[in-house]
Structure 1
Amino acid sequence: KLGEEIGIVAACKALNVSRATFYRRRKVKSDAKPRPTPARRNLLSKDETFPNKTSSFEWVDGTPLEPSWIDGVAGDGGVFSSIEDFVTWDGFWRGNDLISDSVLAEAFKRPKLSDGTFSDYGFGWVLTDEGAWHNGRWLGACTCISRRLRERDCIVVLDNSSSWIVDEMASELERVIFGQP
């Protein structure tokens, strides 16, 4: 709800704001244009249809699950990107001129909880001994990203179906690529 309200008030997505700083400095070559906030486009307009709206491949009781008012999520599930912008974003995590290496290292540090234990969930991803990963699923699209810090590698699996094996696919790719048993 808060993300929706912020999107409505600001009339732009956080991604569009970040382009004004991060993407401009990185000289992103993507021709992607800033889009209206989905929450504003879908929730406040009388016409909830728009050109090139995607349909999902998720089926519920024999009926396709179509995007609707719930397609206006901001923040979690609300980041859409071109491959060119993704590659730029990925490069940011290997070092950049916007933040120091010590601050960047904080993003991959296990946070200490109030009871003194440490969490495996850090700055937006699950932390492992090798690096970090995160997955997601929204209206028939599944993703998994895995970042190996020492090797400076990143594996991304994108799937436009309702498959539940995306995480296993990413793990198997890592196993094969890095020669693990």
Structure 2
Amino acid sequence: MNEERQTMRKLIVSTYATLDGRVDDIREWAVPFNDAGAVEYHTDLLANSDGLLMGRKTYEIFAAVWPSLSGQLPYVDKMNSMAKYVASTTVGDPSWDNSHLIKGDVADGVAELKQRPGQDLVLYGCHKLMHSLLEHDLIDEYRILVHPVLLGKGRSLFDDAERVNLELVDTTVISGGVCVLVYQPVR
């Protein structure tokens, strides 16, 4: 199994969180930190990726925003052109270029995507889809951008998650005091 994992594409979760682990209403507290450091982070993350994985909510937000920003930032152009896999039973025909619905069981669909040839897959967002993939041990790396904000309320990054032992493999501080913590499951 370890040999098989090494040849598969990695599934990387990339998400924003406050210092107290909250993930609600990110537009209210994360936008002030979207600067050159954040652009560099997303550009580097997507450089070795050729697919985005999203749940319905993230897909709807991204599909409404990113196409209109084409030509403004390299990582936005990359997102607009790369394959997008949507885990949803309510999204009809995804309109964002190169978007595909995952049919049937999501965990099986993602496991199959990981076995296809290609670069890494990136999952933006953090709730329902991430928790489902966490339960099926399909996530290979967590990149958590911890923002220097305390909310004291709201949904937690890992609400009701089962225990998973993680190894810290990298840390980077980008502008504004945002810490990028990179963890991999201990398998």
- Asked if these proteins are the same fold (TM beyond 0.5), I'd say no
Rg comparison, structure with higher value: 1
Which structure has more RCO (C-alpha within 8 Å, separation ≥ 6)? 2
Taking structure 1 as the reference length, the TM-score comes to 0.28
Taking structure 2 as the reference length, the TM-score comes to 0.27
